[in-house]
């Protein structure tokens, strides 16, 4: 049986992951929601929790993020709320790295959506871009962790507001 290079590498990675006795290995292989592409999440920023308070068109989101911050040279620089079509609804700029505070939670708003509007909440890393561990849902029905292709609405990386620097 012939295997493509991609298939061979996938089998090799899965085999190494399954058989590894290294307890510190936290690399995950995930199939993403939109395209079915395979991503490794070890070096990507991840949204790990979302809570919301407020009322229609003025919600405050509290977003918990885990990121492999190393200082200003590598840090989570924002989280955002986008609709399912990839339109930016809100962005919370993170002004500094969180090397010694992992995971960390930051709040932002107001976010102008109805309680039934379904959205994604995702985070961005200054070096690797968007992470694929996001939350999806609505205020009315709650939010749950899911995977989203890191290329989904990638053009939003160029839309303001954008970070103007890193404090530390």
Q: Which domains does the chain have, with CATH numbers?
A: 40-158 (2.60.40.10)
Q: What is the pTM for the complete model shown?
A: 0.76
Q: Kindly report the number of other CB atoms within 10 A of residue 138's CB atom.
A: 15
Q: Kindly report the number of other CB atoms within 10 A of residue 113's CB atom.
A: 21
- Pairwise CA distance, residues 62 & 160, whole Å: 21
- Least reliable range by pLDDT among 5-19, 76-90, 152-166: 5-19
Question: How does residue 100 score in pLDDT terms, banded at 50, 70 and 90?
Answer: very high
Taking every pair of Cα atoms in the chain, the longest distance, rounded to a whole number of angstroms, is 58
Give the tens place of pLDDT for each residue, 37-93: 334 456 799 999 999 999 999 999 999 999 999 999 999 999 999 999 999 999 999
């Amino acid at each position: 049986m012939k295997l493509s290079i991609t298939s061979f590498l996938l089998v090799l990675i899965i085999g190494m992951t399954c058989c590894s006795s290294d307890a510190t290995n936290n690399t995950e292989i995930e199939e993403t929601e939109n395209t079915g592409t395979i991503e490794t999440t070890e070096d990507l920023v991840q949204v790990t929790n979302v809570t919301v308070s407020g009322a229609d068109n003025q919600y405050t989101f509290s977003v918990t993020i885990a990121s492999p911050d190393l200082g200003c040279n590598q840090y989570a620089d924002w989280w955002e709320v986008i609709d399912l079509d990839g339109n930016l609804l809100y962005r919370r700029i993170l002004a500094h790295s969180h090397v010694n505070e992992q995971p960390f939670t930051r709040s932002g708003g107001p976010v102008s959506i109805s309680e039934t509007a379904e959205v994604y909440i995702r985070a961005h890393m200054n070096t690797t871009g968007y992470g694929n561990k996001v939350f999806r849902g609505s205020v009315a029905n709650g939010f749950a962790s899911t995977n989203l292709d890191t290329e989904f609405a990638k053009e939003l990386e160029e839309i303001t507001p954008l970070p103007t620097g890193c404090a530390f």
